Amino acid sequence: MSLDKPINYIGKNVKIGKNVKIWHFTYIGDNTVIGDNVMIGSLCHIDYNVRIGDNVRIEGSCYIPPLTVIGNNVFIGPATVFTNDPYPPSKHLTGVIVEDDVVIGARSVIKAGVRLGRACVIGMGSVVTKNVPPNTVVLGNPAKPVYNREEYERKKSCWENRITI
């Protein structure tokens, strides 16, 4: 084996859609399904039996355990960790469900069994221990609601246009 080229591991029975980019040193476990137009950053570990929708961006150094389901148009910031065992180590695992249009900030931790509702936003470094309703922005440890997605988009627009709030 030559060490001058990036090395990735793709398990058995993995289905990968069109226009998928997988960066260096990434692991994808058996029976995982990845939709179209997905980007997976370097050093990610996407375990077995994971479902990833279309137009998803997973930044580097993320851990996505078995039984996780990720919808369409989702952004997952670097070093985000999903869990699948609320009482480790147990014999019963449960996944995280991420609905469509969700944004997850860098270094967030999502507890096993949590559902992230459509178009919610998880602030960077948050620890999410409970379900997040649709269109809600949460942050902190533990993550708490701070405003809605409309306010988030307004703040984002001001930031991108260099307008002080």
CA distances from 71 to 33, 38, 131, 142 (A): 12, 11, 16, 24
Tell me, what's the pLDDT at 77? 98
Strands 143-148 and 136-140: antiparallel
Which of the four pLDDT bands, split at 50, 70 and 90, describes residue 152?
very high
Vertex 88 angle, CA 99 and 48, to 5°: 50
Confirm if 84 and 67 have CB atoms less than 8 A apart: yes
Cis upstream peptide for 78 (omega within 30°): no
Confirm if 65 and 47 have CB atoms less than 8 A apart: yes
Q: Is 73 a residue whose pLDDT tops 50?
A: yes
Work out the average pLDDT over 95-100.
Answer: 98
Burial classification of residue 129, based on how many CB atoms lie within 10 Å of its CB (0-12 exposed, 13-18 middle, 19 or more buried): middle
What domains are there in the chain, each with its CATH number? 9-160 (2.160.10.10)
Tell me, what's the pLDDT at 5? 66
Vertex 145 angle, CA 63 and 157, to 5°: 85
Q: Is 37 a residue whose pLDDT tops 50?
A: yes
Work out the average pLDDT over 96-102.
Answer: 98
Tell me, what's the pLDDT at 1? 46
